[in-house]
Amino acid sequence: QKEVEQNSGPLSVPEGAIASLNCTYSDRGSQSFFWYRQYSGKSPELIMFIYSNGDKEDGRFTAQLNKASQYVSLLIRDSQPSDSATYLCAVISGGSYIPTFGRGTSLIVHP
């Protein structure tokens, strides 16, 4: 059973701070990694994807991947109250392209 682990939180940060969200995965053959944001009662929306080790930046968001340690993280700089949501990590296994989601981390950005 391929597993994707996330701390359910909530992670509470003040407005303007950096929020750091982490995800670990069990399948060493995983090759694609995604972060989705999900507001309460809504469907997930893609924030970022990353395939290679290292950092990938997009605006206020940075995804970090370390395949040797089997973790992927998402940093949100200058956090805003509108960033308050659940952040889902998704991992796709190499070859099968079957996705596995973590349970998500709830982020609360307070003014």
Partner 1 sequence: EAEVAQSPRYKITEKSQAVAFWCDPISGHATLYWYRQILGQGPELLVQFQDESVVDDSQLPKDRFSAERLKGVDSTLKIQPAELGDSAMYLCASSPPTSGGQGDTQYFGPGTRLTVL
Residue ranges binding partner 1 (CB under 8 A): 4, 6, 8, 31-32, 34, 36, 42-46, 49, 51, 88, 90, 92, 96-104
- What token pair was written down for 95? 């070859």
Cβ-based nearer residue to partner 1, 18 or 46: 46
Cβ-based nearer residue to partner 1, 61 or 101: 101
Q: Which of 3, 17, 22 is nearest to 87 (CA)?
A: 22
Whole-angstrom Cα distance, residue 21 to residue 12? 11
Q: What's the closest the beta carbon of residue 88 comes to partner 1, in angstroms?
A: 6
Cβ-based nearer residue to partner 1, 32 or 70: 32
Whole-angstrom Cα distance, residue 28 to residue 43? 28
Q: What's the closest the beta carbon of residue 90 comes to partner 1, in angstroms?
A: 8
Q: What's the closest the beta carbon of residue 17 comes to partner 1, in angstroms?
A: 25
| Cβ atoms of residues 5 and 24 within 8 Å | yes
How many whole angstroms from its chain centre is CA 50?
A: 10
